[in-house]
Every structure is written in C-alpha cells, then in structure tokens.
Amino acid sequence: MIEYRNLRVALLGAGNVGAQVASMLLEHGTELAERAGAGLELVGIAVRDPRAKRHAELPSELFTTDAEQLIAGADIVIELMGGLEPARSHILHALNSGADVITGNKALLATHGAELFETAEQVGAQLYYEAAVAGAIPIIRPLRESLAGDHITRIMGIVNGTTNFILDRMSRLGETQEQALAVATELGYAEADPTADVDGFDAAQKAAILAGLAFHTNVPLESVYREGIRGITLEQVESAARAGHVLKLLAICERIEAADGSEGVSARVYPALIPDSHPLAAVHGAKNAVFIEADAAGDLMFYGAGAGGRETASAVLGDVVSAARRHVIGGPGIAESHGATVTVLPIDQIVTRYSVRLRVNDRPGVLATVATVFAEHGVSVETVEQTVAHPDAELGDVLADAVPGESGSTATLVIGTHRAAEAALAATVTALAANDAVRAVDSVLRVEGI
C-alpha cells in the first residue's frame, strides 16, 4: 500500500454539482489518489445556510458556514457556489493563502477574470476552470495546452444546452419556441426564469472566457455582442431548413482585422444559420460542442454534455487531480497569458454572410429595386428565394417582371449575401426599410460555417 501525502480539499457550495463532487471525492478517494499522486481529503463543505445539509449521503459533520476558516486550512479550494460575491472574495483569499483554486463560475470569470488570473500569477497559484465552459467537455485544457503551439483563428460554440434543446425541438419536431421552452422547463433543462439562457447571457459569459483564453488577452464581458433566441420563430427555423441550414445559438470568437487594418478580435453571441453538413449541425438536444479553427491543426470539434451535476463534476475532478499533481510537484504551474493587447472590436466591424427576409410589394421591378439597394451599399447578393406568401405566387412573378401581382399583394424574399461587413449590411437594412417597395424587413440572420 503506497502512502500518499494528504492534500486538504475545501469545497464551497453544495448545489447540484458540488454535492456530486463531494460524493465522488469520498467514494473514489483511492483511485483519485493514484492518479493524483496524493491523497485528497475533503475537509469541509461551506454552505451559506446551515439548514442546507440536505444531502443525506454526505456526512453532516463536513458542513460548515464558516467558509473563510475552511479556506485558510486548505491546499485546494473548489468554488461551486456561483454568483459574484462572496465567490470572488473567497477565491482571492484562497489564492493569496497559496491554495490552488478550481471554479465552475462562468459569471465570475467573465466579470472578474482579469483580477483573478493576475492574482493567481502574482502569488504563483493556479486557477482551474474546466467546468465553467461546456460542462463536461474538456475544452479549456486543449485550448490552453494542446493548441499552445498553434494559432487559433476562430471558435464557434454551441455552449448553452437550454437554447440548443429549444432550437433542436423547433427544427426536428416543428414545435414553436413557447412549446419547446415549456418542455425544457418541465424536463429541468430551463430555469423558471429562462432569461440567462434564452437571451444569451450565459453564452456571452462563456464567449468572454473562450476568447480570452484563445487569443491570450482579456475580453471584458461588456464587449461581447449578444443576441438571444427570444425573437426566433418556427417560420425562420423552417425557412432555414428549406435552404439546407439549421439555426443554432452560436458563441463566436474570431480574430478579425479592424477597418484601419489593425488586428482585433470579436466575441459575440447570436442565433446563426449553419449548413446542414457542418459538424455543429449534428449537435442535438441539450448537448454542447465547440468547433475550433486553428492555422495548423485545421478544424477540431469537442462535443459532449454541457451541463448536469455528474457531468460537470467530472470536469471539476479532472481539475482537482491536475491541481493535486501540481502541489506534489511544486512550481508555478502554467501561467496563462492574458496580456496580449488586442482590441476587442464592436459588432459593426465583423464580416460574415447574411440571410435577409423581406416582405415586398408583389409587383414588377421590385427585385431590381431591392438588388440595387444591396449593390449601393456594397453588399453582394448570392441567392434569392421567394417564400410563397399566397400559394400561387411564384418567384418568377418578381424575377421576370412579367406577371404583375395584384396591387396590395405581397411576396416574401429571402436574400442570401456573400461575405459583407456588418456595418454595410446594417446600412442596407436601414435603406431597405425606408424603401417604398419594401413592406417590412422581417428577419436578418447571420450565416456562419460556410
């Protein structure tokens, strides 16, 4: 029997993930010790409310409300309490006491990441956060280590399981967003207040973390452009399917060139169309996936469960083993370089493809008018599809200028563009909305992954 040095592990928070981590630490102690090269002794679980000892399977003597005292005596601190405070203060305390810290707190990292990483570097401690992005999927470590010799140009991630579940049901079962959300809530995939998921706040936090890591810089949460899926209709999803596309809420982190030619990065979240054949299109249900484009490695994708107590606990324990190995070895660990001075560019500087849906007067010359508006703003049209407003209307009616529609009748045009600058597209849309031939701009969606 090998005698291992014992490392003292403190757990902050006993929610879904925390309780799983505690159980697994207690149950698989011997196995973990072998992997880590050190014993992992769970010395306490800090909870805010002492009545929170609801986990009958966990020894009640482990629970405490005195987080600070627990931290003071720990080699490794696992923060799974969520929220900004007191999580931030606890982590700073732990790092300053020389403990390594594992956190799954994406809100905190997206908001105070710069401060936390700086503190860790200054004191020579390490901050691990595999569980903060895409749950069980090992994505932080590959980005930080495996691709350390490469140059990442773009990340596209399905990083919110709730919205993927909703969009997938709309796409595959023809449900409306309300119906799909109701199912998600019933199954526990969505919170009672789904704002954080549906409006893209959760995905934006993950985009900030991923962009910072991939581009070795600090990407403030407020610089992440964000659109959620709230406005997405079944009609849009079905129209996408007819065009060979699928609608996904994507977190995109990209190196781009600013208008003045300088290098910048973009971090943004929005519902986007991707081709059916793209690997991300096959990510169904509440699964997550992160697609990475790197100069040398080419395209990579990491797929798996984005949430769930046991799944996320697996990522936390992987970090615990890494932290323990580092403690046994000693030394400063991997310093994350977030020091690159790269400008985070606003959304109007990005360049991508667009799918614009317009309701137009169904009369001769309309397509020419619309096409002229695009051309005047330097946006090149790739495809035009007429979605039939009344069943006997045909694309030919508009295209050929041959059969005038009745006065007052409308047609719907779906226009796919080549790559264009967001600013140019926005100006095009403004001009379209002001044009007499156009009744309404129904929808503007970005097209990614082509």
Site for a copy of itself in 32-71 (CB under 8 A): 32, 34-37
Q: DSSP code of 144?
A: I
Separation CA 10–CA 76 (nearest Å) = 6
| Residue range at the interface with a copy of itself (CB under 8 A); choices 58-66, 105-113, 161-169, 326-334 | 326-334
297 scored as a contact of a copy of itself (CB under 8 A)? yes
Residue nearer to a copy of itself on the CB measure, 216 or 359? 216
Choose the binding region for a copy of itself from 52-60, 135-143, 263-271, 364-372 (rule: CB under 8 A): 135-143
Stretch in the footprint of a copy of itself (CB under 8 A) among 47-55, 200-208, 313-321, 359-367:
313-321
Binding mask 169-208 for a copy of itself (x = CB under 8 A): ----------------------------------------
Which residue lies nearer to a copy of itself by CB, 37 or 364? Answer: 37
By CB under 8 A, the residues from 332 to 371 that bind a copy of itself are 332-335, 337
Establish if 301 lies at the interface with a copy of itself (CB under 8 A): yes
Q: Which helix (H) or strand (E) holds 399?
A: helix 395-399
Place of tokens 């399981």: 161
For residue 260, CA distances in Å to 343, 380, 420 come to: 12, 22, 16
State whether the Cα torsion 93-98-103-108 is positive or negative: positive
Which CB sits closer to a copy of itself, 65 or 146?
Answer: 146
Using CB atoms within 10 Å of the CB of residue 193, give its burial: 0 to 12 exposed, 13 to 18 middle, 19+ buried: exposed
Q: Does the footprint of a copy of itself cover residue 123 (CB under 8 A)?
A: no
Classify strands 351-361 and 438-447 as parallel, antiparallel or unpaired: antiparallel
Task: Give CA–CA dist 404/394, Å, rounded.
Answer: 11
Stretch that binds a copy of itself, among 251-259, 327-335, 361-369, 383-391 (CB under 8 A): 327-335
3-32 mask for a copy of itself (x: CB under 8 A)?
-----------------x---x---x--xx
> Which residues are tagged catalytic?
206
Residue 343, amino acid: T
Give the residue with the Cβ less far from a copy of itself, 24 or 67.
Answer: 24
SS (H, E, C) 281-336: HHCCCCEEEEEEEECCCEEEEEEEECCCHHHHHHHHHHHHHHHHHHHHHCCCCCCC
| CA–CA distances in Å: residue 327 to residues 91, 282, 320, 339, 444 | 17, 40, 10, 25, 52
| Residue ranges in contact with a copy of itself by CB under 8 A | 20, 24, 28, 31-32, 34-37, 130, 136-138, 141-142, 145-151, 216, 277, 279, 282, 284, 294-305, 308, 310-311, 313-322, 325, 329-335, 337
